[in-house]
Chains A and B, each alone.
Chain A
């Protein structure tokens, strides 16, 4: 297991050295970015079981902040990253407290409503570029602008952020916080009777989740250098985060990464096959994945994998026990 971990880490670190061209480098960076966003969603939606369909709000805030800081004040976009986190966490408290009174589908529907409302506001707000959105620096003034022609620097930045996020999640998952989140997901009423302050722990999950989703948004706009209301605050963004996490396995540490490694290349493929008109197809793929997961594998691919491995181990046990028995 330990050796497997070392090999995977080495593969991620060395991957860019074996690239034929930038196309694969960009795709790999996008995989990591998607994994960051989905891992961030996973804290609230996976571990704590509160299915938010409005996380685009935090992604959008994170994406707008660097480019807004750049356009309005001429500062390096990266200064906007902490601003995005601050605004996201502030929004979290404003929307979290009322929506957490709702459970299950009602919570999910409320998050959609809030996100769509905010998207409409942004689309009509001239200060933030209204429907056209915002641009980053055309050419890097200093390296601080983090504007690179090659995707490789982005790849390593994203890898570092993802590693931090997963390390933090791993630590929380095995501490009281993680146990309380899973108890809340399994049943709020018994959790409360065992002394779990449910609203407070949901809020912790939302704060962390929103903060890191905002970072994912910032990294996106740093790399792409452009943001508009649809790509920042659109519902497709929220749905994408959910599907990636659920595909790999919501509530597991590496589920979102696995999901991203499958879904992002799939998206890139359909986009290059059908040109820019691939977005309709994206909806169809998302819908198909939702139906398949809900019907056959609600635990996601990692869960399926674990079950297959334990079945194999079980068969091996049985096989090993047989000669003794006879």
Chain B
């Protein structure tokens, strides 16, 4: 088992944002995580990546207890994450952004640069590599977010709405990128609103609502689950499907 999150809870004052979420991920999987806004998906990612300390439960990564470890220790162990709102280093160039990630495994500058250039090529950012990161729009920043974390050579990658706000054709490119990342042997947990993305990518889906897991299964099973339809798809799926129809 690569990741074993058991009964993870997190509260903000009186608000219980996450209440006893559990998730086991085996190496090589792509797991989808869905749920309406405010369901606790990002909070769960923050707990798994060490950005927030859970108020309850525990998290094992490769049988190492990482529940209370720092974010940098998580990165070192091989847990990488993107932020829902891209946290681009706007004062740095795109290459420099990726180099910051690459320095984790390559202390030498030239090695880090070479590794970063490889990732930049892989993620299709080569044409703009030396441009300041502030010149990127949201789709570019989402891609840079992925490139930067890939440069840290993660074993487990947590993608938090990395495809939100993209046009349908950009979504197709991004799906292809996720597939290529997966083909490299990187295990992925992906949070995404667009059902089509989850259906095409994920082998297994977890549904959150108000901080609790309300369903798990294959994408098909989840889509047919009545609790899910009520909590989430009933309101949203119709709208999303409408928005993405050609």
Q: A interface vs B, CB < 8 Å? A: 174-176, 179-180, 182-183, 185-187, 189-198
Contacts and interface: CB of A to CB of B under 8 A. Distances in A.
B91 A194 contact: no
B107 A194 contact: no
Nearest to A299: B91
Nearest to B100: A183
Contact of B148 (A185, A189, A194): A194
Nearest to B76: A195
Contacts of A176: 103, 107-109, 112
A191 B97 CA distance: 10
B152 interface: yes
Given A179-B100, A183-B100, A198-B72, A193 B51 contact: yes
Given A176-B109, A196-B72, A189 B92 contact: no
B49 A193 contact: yes
Contact of B152 (A174, A194, A197): A194
A179 B87 CA distance: 16
Nearest to A191: B100
Provide the main secondary structure of the chain A interface.
helix
B75 A194 contact: yes
Interface in B67-90: 70-72, 74-76, 80-81, 83, 87-90
Nearest to B107: A176
B96 interface: yes
B17 interface: no
A191 B76 CA distance: 13
B92 A183 contact: yes
B35 interface: no
A265 B231 CA distance: 70
20 contacts: A176-B107, A179-B96, A179-B103, A179-B112, A180-B100, A182-B91, A183-B89, A183-B92, A187-B89, A190-B83, A190-B87, A192-B72, A193-B149, A194-B100, A195-B75, A195-B101, A195-B103, A196-B72, A197-B70, A198-B72
Interface of B: 49, 51, 70-72, 74-76, 80-81, 83, 87-92, 96, 99-101, 103-104, 107-109, 112, 148-149, 151-152
Given A183-B92, A190-B89, A195 B109 contact: no
Contacts of A174: 109
A185 B101 CA distance: 15
A255 to B, nearest CB: 14
Contacts of B70: 192, 197
Contacts of B107: 176
B45 to A, nearest CB: 10
Given A180-B100, A195-B104, A187 B87 contact: yes
Contacts of A196: 72, 100
B32 to A, nearest CB: 21
Nearest to A176: B103
A301 B142 CA distance: 33
Contacts of A192: 51, 70-72, 75
B37 to A, nearest CB: 21
Contacts of A197: 70, 72
Nearest to B70: A192
B144 to A, nearest CB: 11
A174 B51 CA distance: 28
A193 B89 contact: no
Contacts of A193: 49, 51, 71-72, 74-75, 80-81, 83, 87, 149
Contacts of B104: 194-195
Nearest to A193: B71
B69 to A, nearest CB: 11
Contacts of A198: 72
Contacts of B96: 179, 182
B99 A179 contact: yes
A198 B72 CA distance: 8
Contacts of A179: 96, 99-100, 103, 112
B75 A185 contact: no
